[in-house]
Amino acid sequence: MTPWATATEQLAALAAGEATSVGLLDACLDRIAALDPALNAVVALDAERAFAAARAADLDRRAGRSTGPLAGLPLTIKDALDVAGLPTAAGDPARVQAVAAADAVAVARLRSAGAIPFGKTNVPLNAADFQTFNALHGTTRNPYALDRTPGGSSGGAAAAVAAGFVAAELGTDLAGSLRIPAHACGVASLKPSYGLIPVAGTFAGIPGQQRAADLQVVGPIARSIADLALLFDVLAGPGHDEAVGWRLALPRPPAGFRPRVALWLDEPFCQPEPAVADAIAAACDALGGRVASVTPVRPPLPAEEFFRLHCVLMYGELSLAAPADTFEYFVRRTARATGAEDFSDMTALLARGLTVRHRDWLAAAERRAVLRAAMAGFFADYDAIVCPVAPTPAAPLDERRLDRRTQRLGGGEVPALLHTFWAAVASSLYLPAVTVPVGLGPDGLPVGAQVIAPYLHDHLAVAVAALLEAAAGGFRPPVIAAGAFRSSAG
């Protein structure tokens, strides 16, 4: 079976007796052994237990015993989610011995559905960057160009799926951590509406954290939109405590529906590069007409004000995870500030977010509620927004500290954090967002489009993404010649 077979295709082959779980797992491990030295995507393996589970799945299938919807499917898990028996280090050398006693709820749901988690994939330190490198496991590279980042923080996850190591992965997203890597690596991802998939057992900066972090979600990465839908149906639903009082009943679009799509590419605050804008526009041109109506429009979201708000909400959430000495440094940095910093002073903005007063955080949350209502009004006229995931394709590898990092955009150097603007929209407003690959740019780097739908309309986002996938052609494998990835774009 080709390494590019989707999860749906692999499961069909298992059901038809054309493949075995042991064979699929063998193929995954062989490919990782051959190609991962160049990528450094996989940081831990649990082959012995995985083979035992695969043999059991094959025996059940041959005996005709009832199996789950993912029975026998091998996959890997982002190293920010607990997998029983494996460390959840989140890139931190101090946590290399932090072996999980139990699966995260989302991992347990995949396992209960028959999937076989057999390894962990790399993340930045504490899963808090959109490039993937750390002192414990090193740097993960992009399978389309080894001098480019796979994104972050689910960078190892997206690279593993794009390289054909696994058909699917499980990751997390707080400010684009599923979507930016999927865009950078040419694969698909689903950031669900906030609260739909339990996050218990997810590293959120504090070991053993019990509180569900604001903005934090768990979701799948795969090479096809159909696989995202399959995994989402397994993952979504109330946690154990909530299940006594509510059940999930998300709306689904009717068969054959013709969505009204708002195409958002014109945004002076964070104008996408032509390579990104052109690929998304071409995909929407192919989408428009018979299967959808597409209207270029800007939603009622004041971009710069919104992004400042997002920084307060995001870094305010992360403040408890900051070490005490780091937090006190930023307290002193904020005390020395003389006014409202602009985006050229990222250290000052980071300091204000991490040390925000509770009163000011409440004001930001209230402003977010106002913007959520405005967007709900916008969605009365449109079913979904199609926009960039990020303003550029995968960025060059850069291991400077985030607040000191810049990138080329609009003919000049801008703070690297602006790379997250487009992903921030769905994150801070709690909206579902699907990343769908829509082509390769002139330099051969992938481009993903982001499909954002109204709150709790996750199935609608998936349906529009499936139409866009069909129009644009979907996943395009990276070039692998003589067992090696290309060393640079071009």
Tell me if residue 120 is catalytic: no
Q: Which two tokens stand for residue 409?
A: 């955009």
21, 154, 177, 189: the active-site residue: 177
Q: Which two tokens stand for residue 94?
A: 């101090």
Q: Which two tokens stand for residue 13?
A: 């082959």
- Which long-range contacts link 407-416 to residues 24+ away (Cβ below 8 Å)? 409/270, 409/271, 409/273, 410/271, 414/343, 415/343, 415/344, 415/346, 416/130, 416/346
21, 120, 153, 154: the active-site residue: 153
Phi and psi for 179 in degrees, rounded to 5? -80, -40
21, 78, 120, 189: the active-site residue: 78
Bridge partner residues of 87 (DSSP): 99
The CA dihedral of 41, 44, 46, 51, to the nearest 10 degrees, is 20
Tell me if residue 428 is catalytic: no
Tell me if residue 319 is catalytic: no
Q: Do 222 and 231 touch, CB atoms closer than 8 A?
A: yes
Catalytic sites, residue numbers: 78, 153, 177
